[in-house]
Copies of this chain bind each other. A is one copy, B any other.
Amino acid sequence: MGSPPQRADARRNRERILQAAFEAFAAEGHLVPLDDIARRAGVGAGTVYRNFPTKEALFQAVVTVRIERIVDEARALGGAADPADAFYGFVTQVVERAMFNHAVCEALAADMRGFDASGMDEQFTAALDVLLRRAQNAGAVRPDVDVQDVRALLAGAMYMERGHRRGDRPGHMTSLACDALRPTTKRNETSGPRDETHCEICATPLTPAATGRPARFCSASCRQKAHRRKKASPKTG
């Protein structure tokens, strides 16, 4: 039943189902009723079941296709000139893509729920492993993480981006996650907009000044602390 059908129209149906399922699962995850998918695909529910024995199998099929592409990309990057770029770029891109896709998210999820079919998981892990080791070998990734850690981090980054999507900083959590992987000497620090409602040093709420520049500190002693601290690590604003 999972094998591709012979007739042209049947093959077309299968494609349409996969496409509809992709969209539906991407938008709503496992929750979307199968009838909705069938309707989107313009076929009957029975046709879906002819092609995929269960709803879960359909889900698997959908994400397998996606993961296949991702694996392909990972393999393509396996020989890239810059192992660091290859690795971090890959991670970032995967997250970005999955960020808006409930289905891929669930598939690559930390618990890999609903994604152990067809050995795609192993292939993904293996391909990622190559990128990771090359990056580690190049000194771009700390050596004490393994591919499972990275997989988990990937899942976590997707999760964080999905949940804490702040219009202002897309990709911010992913960037943090990547920083967790870097050796200590290299780091991409980015700074967000400053919080003008609390003291930067001790978090005391600030009384907003009616006029003039907003205050940054609650007191002179906090301003002094900030001053001292700035001298100690001058690179971060």
Known contacts: A112-B163, A143-B191. The answer to whether A133 contacts B236 by CB under 8 A is: no
Would you mind naming 9 contact pairs between A and B with Cβ atoms under 8 Å apart?
Answer: A110-B159, A133-B200, A137-B226, A139-B229, A142-B189, A142-B236, A152-B173, A153-B176, A176-B181
Per-residue contact bits, chain A 172-187, to B (CB 8 Å; 1 contact, 0 not): 1100110111011111
Known contacts: A111-B162, A129-B198. The answer to whether A143 contacts B180 by CB under 8 A is: no
Question: A116 near B: Cβ within 8 Å?
Answer: no
Which bracket fits the contact residues of A? 35 or more
Question: A166 near B: Cβ within 8 Å?
Answer: yes
State the CA gap A232–B151 with chains docked (Å): 27
* Nearest B-chain residue to A182, judged by Cβ: B184
Determine the chain B residues whose CB is within 8 A of the CB of A153 once the complex forms: 160, 173, 176
State the CA gap A237–B142 with chains docked (Å): 10
Q: Give the Cβ gap from A47 to chain B, nearest Cβ, in Å.
A: 14
Question: A65 near B: Cβ within 8 Å?
Answer: no
Determine the chain B residues whose CB is within 8 A of the CB of A130 once the complex forms: 202-203
Q: Are B163 and A152 in contact, with the CB atoms below 8 A?
A: yes
Question: A171 near B: Cβ within 8 Å?
Answer: no
* Nearest B-chain residue to A137, judged by Cβ: B201
Determine the chain B residues whose CB is within 8 A of the CB of A112 once the complex forms: 163
Per-residue contact bits, chain A 108-141, to B (CB 8 Å; 1 contact, 0 not): 0111100000000000001001101110010100
- 6 further A-B pairs in the complex, CB-CB below 8 A; given A137-B226, A137-B229, A155-B164: A126-B203, A133-B203, A137-B225, A144-B237, A146-B192, A184-B186
Per-residue contact bits, chain A 209-235, to B (CB 8 Å; 1 contact, 0 not): 000000000000000011001001100
Q: Are A160 and B152 in contact, with the CB atoms below 8 A?
A: yes
Known contacts: A153-B176, A192-B146. The answer to whether A111 contacts B201 by CB under 8 A is: no
Q: Are B159 and A155 in contact, with the CB atoms below 8 A?
A: yes
Q: Are B173 and A203 in contact, with the CB atoms below 8 A?
A: no
State the CA gap A129–B189 with chains docked (Å): 20
